[in-house]
Structure 1
C-alpha cells in the first residue's frame, strides 16, 4: 500500500485536529490555539496545546507531540494503517488500494470478524436467558458485578454439540470452522460433521487492540477438563501475539504510567472489579517476544505479578529469561510476588486495591529477581558450588544482546558475588592496576605480563561517551538525505549511543516518524520536524559541509545520479553497521583486557588480541568509507 507524503499531508489538512481531540478531551480556546489538561499524564494545570494551523498538538509537561495520525495511534491505540483508514473515511478520502493478495486477506478477516462477533452476541444472549442462571450465580459468587460482566462481554456456551452451529447457520460451515467456533473431525480423518468447540462453558471474548472480538476463552462450569479453553489460532487470532484486555489496559496505562501482567484473564477481571484497569494477561502460554514488545510500547518497565507458589515462580523465571536477549537501555521488567496460596482475586477481596498496590510497591527489578532465584537454587558451601552460581549468573548476563546493558548486568552480579563471599582478609596496601606490586603491598611480587596492553582512553570510556560527535552528526545528516534507511535499521539505530543529547533527541524523533510514515522522503520528514525545536539542528546537519562521506553529498544533475545514490545508500548501510558494532567491540575489549589483567593466561591474551584486531578492522572500514582524513 503506497501512502506518499503528499497523500498523508492532504489527509492531515482535511482533519481539524481540535475537533478530533475535543471528542474525548475537554478543550478551551486560547488565542489561536486550544488548551487542555494533558490526556497522556495527570495534571491539574493545562499544559497541552493544539494548533490547528500547524496541525499538531504538544504537551509542555510530558513532551507528548504529534499530529492527527499520532493522536489516533497513541491515544486510541490504533495501528498506523487503522488510524489512516479511520481518518480517511472521515475526511472523504480514498485510501490507496493494497495489492490484491492483501485485499483478499483483509476481506477474509472482515468476514471472520462478523462470525466471532455474532458468536459473542449469541453467547451474551444465552447468559441472560433462563439457561444462564447457574453461570450468573457463579459470577456473583466470584464477586463480579453486572457492570463488569457487561464491560467484558461475558457469555454462556450451552452444553450442546450443535447449539452454536444452529444459531449461526447463516454463515457457511467452513467459516465457522476457520474462525475456531466449530471443530471439524474431518481434519483428523473422520467423516463426522463439525460440532461446537465450546460447550458448557462461561465465555469471555478476547479482543484486539481496537476492541474487536477475535477469539474466546471458555471456563468450564462444573467438573471437566480443561478448566480453561481458548480458541485455536486463526487468521484473526494468534495467542502468542495477543494480550487479554489490551484494548482497555492500553489507555488506562497512559493515566497510571504502568501496566500489570497477571497469569490469567479471570485475574484481570478481578482486578478490574477492584478498580485496577491497567492489567493484561497472556493466553495460556509463557510471555512471548511479541507480547513483551506490546508491553514495552505502553511502559518501559511492565510489572509482572505471579503467584507465590512454585508454578508462579517458574512462570516468572520463564518470563525473565525470555526478556533477557531483548533488554535495551531503559527497558526492563519488574516482578511482584503474591502471598503464597493467593491469586489477585483473593488478595483484592481480602485487602482491596490498596493491598494489591502494596504487593506492587515491593516489586523486584529483573536483575534482583535473577540473583534471588539463582542464589536459592543450590547450596553454596564449596568452591565448586560457588563457581556454579557465578557461571549461572554470567550466563544470564551473556544472553543480553545490548552491550551496555550486558556490561552492567555482569558488573552487578560480580559486585553481589564479592559481597556474598566476602571473608576477612589481611590488610593489604592499595593495588595499582597497571603497575608492579612489591612486598610493601602486602602480597606476592606481581609483574604484569609485558604483552599486556592497557585499554586505550577511548576504549575505557566508550560506554559513557558513545560514538564520536562528528560521526554521529554525519550519520544523522545522511539519514536526513535518505530517510528510507531509518526503517531498515530501526533496531540498530535505536540503541546507538549518540553522545550529544540534542542529536540523540533528533535521531529518536526521526525514527519515530519513520515508523509511522511509509514512503518518507527528505521533504516529508522536514515538514514533520518543522514545528519542533530540533528542526534548526536538522537543517544545519543537512547543509553542513561533511562531504567526506558519499551519503552527505547533495545529488545534482542528471548524469550519474542513480549510481551516486546507490553508492550513498550502500555506504550508509555499512557506516551504520560500523557505528553500532564498534562500541560493542570496544566494551568487550575493555572487559577482556580487565579479565586478562586478573588471570594472565594465554586464552585471555588471545581473546584480547582478537578483539583489538576487530576494533582496528572496523576503524579501517570507517576510514575507507571516507574520501577525507578529517574524521
Structure 2
C-alpha cells in the first residue's frame, strides 16, 4: 500500500520521535536537552560506550555519528523490530491514534486474500494441534518427548499431528465452510493434474507451524512418522503468504531477545531451533532448508550486527555454510557481517545439547570464526602453491570473491587483508626454495636504504620511538578500517626506524588499488624482514633474543598496548591510533629542530631563525596536545580497568 506524505507526517507529528526511540535506548541526561527536542544516547545499532546517537525532534530525524545510521520514525521501527514498512506504518498509526487510509480496490482484494489464507492456516494449525494432543497423536507425542522437548515447549510451538488418512484435514475444513480452492492455494491440499480427487499434502506427520513476523501460522513443516517414509521433512510450498526466501523459522520469537543480546544464531532445521530455544538461547532461527537469500540476510541484520551461522558438522552442513558465505559477501556493509561455527563432525546442535546442555553449545559458539577467516580457510586449505601459476590462480580466486562485494569501503578492507595474508602465505610456502634455514639469501632494502642491508633478526629497540612505531604498524594491520581512514597521513609519516618505514610503505603499496603488481609475482621482493615484522604484529611468535634486555616481547600487540585487551570502544582505539602518529611526528619535529639548531651554531641566517622559531612553537603546541591526549586516554583506560574488575567481582 502506498501512503500519502500528509498521512505519514500526521503520524510523526502526533507521536514524538523520542518516545519511539526511547523504548530502545537510555537518554544521556548530561548531553540531552528535552526542552529543545535534542536527545543523545548510545547507539542502538552498534556497540559503543559514549553517546553518539542523536535525535532531533524538530526535524523528526535521528542520526548516529559513529556508524552513520539515520532515519525517521518508520525506519527506526523497521530496523529495530524487523517489520516491513507497511507494518511499521500500521503499528505507529495505531499508537498515534491516526486512522489507516482505505486501501484501493485491487490492494484490498489482495489483502483480503492473504487474510483469508491466513485464517485457513490458523484453522489447520488448530486441527493438527487437537489431533496431536488426542488419542490419535499418541505416537507423535511420544516421539516429540523422546527428542527431549517438554510439554510447555510443544505447546509454545503449537506442535500438531496430521493423521494418516487421505483427506482428513480437507474434509474437516470443508465442513467449516472453507472452499477447496483456498486449501489448494494455502498449500494444504494437492489437486492432481489428471482429474483425480484432491488430497491432504501432510499425512502421518508430526506438524510444526511456521509463523510470520507477527506470529501468525502461514505454512507448516512436517516430519514423517513412517520409518521408511520420504521425504523425512516436508515443508509447505510457496504460497501468496509464504515465501521461503524471505522467512526464517521462529523469527517472531527470536527477534527481540536476539536484539537485546546482540546475538542471533542460525541453525539448519526447525527441530534444532526449537531445542536450542528450549535450552535457553532464545535468539535462534532456522533457515527452512533453503539457500540463504539476500532478504534473509538483511532480515537477520535487524536482529544482530554479526549473526552466527551454526550448521551441522557433516559435509552437507559445511557445504551449506560455504554457500551462505557466497550469498553474504555481495551484501556486506560497514559494521554488518556474519560469523560461522562448524560443529564437530557428525553432530548437530541437538546432539551437543543432549551431551552437555547449553554450556556445550555455548562453548562451540565461542569459537565462531569471522566471515573473512572462513573465506580464507575455504580457499587456501587445499590450495597447491608449488608453481607461480597455482599461486596466481589462488590470488585470482580471492580477487574474484572480493569483487562481488558491492560496498566499496568493505571491498577495500577485504582486498587489503587478503593481499597481506597472501604475501605471508606465499612467503612461508617458498621457504624450502630459500635454503634450509628458511632465511632469505639477501637482506631487505627499505626505502631510502640505497643498498643498505638489515640484519636477519628483528632488531631490538634502537631508536627512541621504536615501541610507538611498532605499535602503529601492528594497529595498521589489526584495524584495517583505521588504516584506510588515515591512509594519506600514514603515507606521510616518517619513521625513525628504517624497518618500520619500509614496512609501512609496503602496506600502503598493497592497499593502493592500482591493479598493477600481482602478489604472486611480487611477494619475494618484500624480503625476510617484512614478514618477520608482519608475523610479530599479527601476534605470531617472534624470534628469541629479538628484544633488548629488560624489554617486553614485541611479538604481540596486546603486550605493547595491553589496554586493547579490555575491548575498548572504537573511538578509544582510534584516539590511540592517532596519538601514536602524533608521537612519531613529534619526534620528527624534534629531529628537525635539532638539525636547525646544529646548523645555526655555524651559520645563523634570518630565514634559519624564523624556521627555528616556527619549529619551536609548533613543537611546544604539539607536545601539549600529546600530553593532553595521553592523559585523556590514561583516564579512560583506568575507568575501563575498574569496570572490568567490577564485572569480574560480580561475575
Partners of 2:310 and 2:342 within 8 A in 1: yes
**Partner deviation per Cα, 1:280-335 (whole Å, 9 max, x = no partner):** 11112111121111112222211111222211111111111111222222222111
In the alignment, does 2:277 pair up with 1:354? Answer: no
Q: Are residues 26 and 157 of structure 1, via their aligned partners in 2, closer, same or farther at CA, if it must alter by over 3 Å? A: farther
Note the C-alpha offset of 1:57: 10
Distance between the aligned counterparts of 1:92 and 1:430, measured in 2? 73
Distance between the aligned counterparts of 1:439 and 1:32, measured in 2? 66
| Equivalent position of 1:172 in the other structure | 179
| Equivalent position of 1:248 in the other structure | 253
| Equivalent position of 1:161 in the other structure | 166
Distance between the aligned counterparts of 1:238 and 1:228, measured in 2? 17
Q: For 1:228, which of 228, 233, 245 is the aligned residue?
A: 233
| Equivalent position of 1:8 in the other structure | 8
Q: For 1:108, which of 97, 106, 113 is the aligned residue?
A: 113
Distance between the aligned counterparts of 2:419 and 2:24, measured in 1? 51
| Equivalent position of 1:425 in the other structure | 440
User: How is 1:16-415 mapped onto 2 (pairs within 5 angstroms)?
Assistant: 69=74, 72-73=77-78, 76-89=81-94, 93-169=98-174, 170-186=177-193, 190-223=194-227, 224-415=229-420
Note the C-alpha offset of 1:88: 3.4
| Equivalent position of 2:485 in the other structure | 464
Partners of 1:48 and 1:61 within 8 A in 2: yes
**Partner deviation per Cα, 1:453-508 (whole Å, 9 max, x = no partner):** xxxxxxxx9953799xxxxxxxxxxxxxxxxxxxxxxxxxxxxxxxxxxxxxxxxx
Q: Are residues 387 and 249 of structure 1, via their aligned partners in 2, closer, same or farther at CA, if it must alter by over 3 Å? A: same
Which structure has the greater CA radius of gyration?
A: 2
Distance between the aligned counterparts of 2:2 and 2:349, measured in 1? 47
Distance between the aligned counterparts of 1:117 and 1:368, measured in 2? 44
User: How is 1:436-447 mapped onto 2 (pairs within 5 angstroms)?
Assistant: none
Distance between the aligned counterparts of 1:12 and 1:234, measured in 2? 35
Q: Are residues 106 and 14 of structure 1, via their aligned partners in 2, closer, same or farther at CA, if it must alter by over 3 Å? A: same
**Partner deviation per Cα, 1:217-269 (whole Å, 9 max, x = no partner):** 11111320000100000000110111111111111111110111111111100
Distance between the aligned counterparts of 2:116 and 2:410, measured in 1? 46
**Partner deviation per Cα, 1:189-228 (whole Å, 9 max, x = no partner):** x011111000111111111111111111111113200001
TM-score (normalizing by structure 2): 0.61
**Partner deviation per Cα, 1:553-603 (whole Å, 9 max, x = no partner):** xxxxxxxxxxxxxxxxxxxxxxxxxxxxxxxxx99974225559977xxxx
In the alignment, does 2:612 pair up with 1:591? Answer: no
**Partner deviation per Cα, 1:372-395 (whole Å, 9 max, x = no partner):** 122223444444444433333233
Partners of 2:26 and 2:42 within 8 A in 1: no
Note the C-alpha offset of 1:121: 0.9
Distance between the aligned counterparts of 2:519 and 2:483, measured in 1? 19
Distance between the aligned counterparts of 2:356 and 2:273, measured in 1? 17
| Equivalent position of 1:476 in the other structure | none
Q: Are residues 68 and 416 of structure 1, via their aligned partners in 2, closer, same or farther at CA, if it must alter by over 3 Å? A: closer
Q: Which runs of 5+ in 2 are unaligned?
A: 432-438, 455-481, 489-508, 523-651
- Aligned with 2:302: secondary structure? helix
**Partner deviation per Cα, 1:57-77 (whole Å, 9 max, x = no partner):** 999999999986567545554
Q: Which runs of 5+ in 1 are unaligned?
A: 443-460, 468-585, 600-631
Instruction: Single out whichever of 71-80 and 352-361 deviates more from structure 2.
Output: 71-80
Q: Are residues 403 and 220 of structure 1, via their aligned partners in 2, closer, same or farther at CA, if it must alter by over 3 Å? A: same
- Aligned with 2:381: secondary structure? helix
Q: Are residues 328 and 76 of structure 1, via their aligned partners in 2, closer, same or farther at CA, if it must alter by over 3 Å? A: closer
Partners of 1:161 and 1:196 within 8 A in 2: yes
Distance between the aligned counterparts of 2:327 and 2:95, measured in 1? 42
Distance between the aligned counterparts of 1:54 and 1:410, measured in 2? 39
Q: Are residues 281 and 412 of structure 1, via their aligned partners in 2, closer, same or farther at CA, if it must alter by over 3 Å? A: same
- Aligned with 2:132: secondary structure? helix
Distance between the aligned counterparts of 1:376 and 1:351, measured in 2? 30
| Equivalent position of 2:527 in the other structure | none
Distance between the aligned counterparts of 1:213 and 1:337, measured in 2? 31
TM-score (normalizing by structure 1): 0.63
